[in-house]
Structure 1
Amino acid sequence: MLEVARSALIDPAVLAVYLLAAGAMILSPGPDTLYVLTRSIGDGRDAGIASAGGISVGVLVHTVAAVVGLSAIFRASELAFAVVSYVGAAYLVYLGVRTVRDDGLLVDGSTESAANPFREAVMVNVLNPQVALFFLAFLPQFVDRGGHVPVQLSVLGGIYALLTMAYLATVAVGSSGVRQLLVARPRVAASVRWLSGLILVGLGFRLLISSVLG
């Protein structure tokens, strides 16, 4: 047991490089950040934080997939990659259309959307095969091949999930403040709702096009 624990340790210098690289990746704008922004502005801080939690759980799912080799299926099978890409793209388009049509968003006195932001965020992240391939390519660069690779991958993925949660929760809290300003301005709020929805639709088509073009 002690030997396994030692083999699972990650060199501090390598870990420092990993933290810098992971931080840069997390700070790069993408579907996850935009989804949290949309839910925070549309439904409030709690929905935004729940979305951040869902995205972080999605990161853990991809980590487990990388550890057991499921992500390699997407790399080896064009059909599997295409199917998940189409489902993920369709889901993002659905979320965008629903956002545009939801007149209850950003209306004074309205309740939060009936949709579960945590569950939706998990699906947004998990149904993106490009994220799966990213973890399959990114995490192994920071493991010691002579050590206990599955445990090291799990530790690195867990750290990535924690960093993701910290960043996206900050985004959720900060962007939810914008909601208070928009509630008092219905016309601006409607424009923001449309913009948020169209962004999600655009992300869906972007995922679809990138998958088709390879």
Structure 2
Amino acid sequence: MTLPSILAFTGLCVLLALTPGPDTFLVLRYSLVRVRAGVAASMGSAIGSLVWAAAVAFGLAALLEQSAEAYRVVKIIGGLYLLYLGVSAFLASRRAGTEGAEPAVPRARIHSSLLAGMISTMLNPKVGLFFLAVAPQFIPANGASIGNTMLLGAIDALVALAYLAIVSVIAARAVVWLRRPRVTKVLERVSATILAVLGIGTIVSSAE
């Protein structure tokens, strides 16, 4: 692959990263409580992108493109997972508010944040279809398709990680700066609601 191709693909990844999606709101949700939880979710999302890149490289993701039913199943599962994350986060926030405690992601469970980010991205078939549609345009005809696809996947993962980590740090510092329980609670509930709405929207659109 040539340097101009790599730079062009990197620019495309930056543009896509700047478009708010489920991963952005998921990272925001965890970052509102603890910056390391948000960064962990960012890393999980990046790992999920690498998994999709590997699936495309080895031809597994092509099944989603060829089978509308497989695409619909993955999309529904992803929607249900987002709905679960949103509802559980909202209920946790309400319980904490009732008990007078700070709504929070358990401090000892940073790995759960990473897992949530990874699963959310892996259950988003649009990521796989993005690689299927875009990767071939940047891979030379006589090049090693598997190696080049994984290289593109690594670039996309690094761009996503950098952007989401920045979002995480900014969100966490904003909460520290405000440090008002009522504001924090509202922001947490809004982000949880957005996750739930995205999940419902995903499920509804998959039935069309």
Same fold, judged at TM 0.5 (above)? yes
Residue aligning to 1:197: 192
The percentage of counterpart residues that share the same residue type is 34
**Structure 1 residues 75-129: Cα deviation after superposition (integer angstroms, max 9, x where no partner):** 1112211111111111100100011111348955967366510011111000111
Asked whether the 8 Å contact 1:44–1:112 carries over to 2, the reply is no
Residue aligning to 2:88: 98
**Structure 1 residues 5-40: Cα deviation after superposition (integer angstroms, max 9, x where no partner):** xxxxx1122122112111111111111111111110
Q: 2:40 aligns with which of 29, 47, 50?
A: 50
Residue aligning to 2:74: 84
Separation (CA, whole Å) in 2 of partners of 1:121 and 1:93? 14
* Mean CA deviation greater in 56-65 or 203-212: 203-212
How much does 1:48 deviate? 0.4
The one-letter code of the counterpart of 1:186 is P
Q: 1:27 aligns with which of 15, 18, 21?
A: 18
Asked whether the 8 Å contact 1:44–1:179 carries over to 2, the reply is no
Alpha carbons of structure 1 residues 110 and 82: separation in structure 2 relative to 1, 3 Å: closer
Q: Indicate the SS of the match to 2:157.
A: helix
- 4+ runs of 1 displaced by more than 6 Å? none
Please report the TM-score for the alignment, with normalisation by the length of structure 1: 0.87
**Structure 1 residues 42-101: Cα deviation after superposition (integer angstroms, max 9, x where no partner):** x31010010000000000000001001111111111221111111111110010001111
How much does 1:211 deviate? 2.3
Separation (CA, whole Å) in 1 of partners of 2:74 and 2:103? 38
Asked whether the 8 Å contact 1:92–1:201 carries over to 2, the reply is yes
Residue aligning to 1:173: 169
* Mean CA deviation greater in 44-53 or 106-115: 106-115
The one-letter code of the counterpart of 1:87 is I
How much does 1:186 deviate? 2.7
Asked whether the 8 Å contact 2:92–2:103 carries over to 1, the reply is no
| RMSD of aligned alpha carbons | 2.1
Confirm whether residue 112 of structure 1 aligns to residue 102 of structure 2. Answer: no
**Structure 1 residues 118-144: Cα deviation after superposition (integer angstroms, max 9, x where no partner):** 011111000111211111112111110
Alpha carbons of structure 1 residues 209 and 141: separation in structure 2 relative to 1, 3 Å: farther
Please report the TM-score for the alignment, with normalisation by the length of structure 2: 0.89
The one-letter code of the counterpart of 2:119 is M
Alpha carbons of structure 1 residues 45 and 68: separation in structure 2 relative to 1, 3 Å: same
Q: Which runs of 5+ in 1 are unaligned?
A: 1-9
Q: Indicate the SS of the match to 1:70.
A: coil
**Structure 1 residues 154-213: Cα deviation after superposition (integer angstroms, max 9, x where no partner):** 11111111111111111111111122245x423323322221111001111222233233
The one-letter code of the counterpart of 2:192 is G
Asked whether the 8 Å contact 1:107–1:186 carries over to 2, the reply is no
Size of the alignment, in residue pairs?
202
* Mean CA deviation greater in 74-83 or 186-195: 186-195
Q: Which runs of 5+ in 2 are unaligned?
A: none
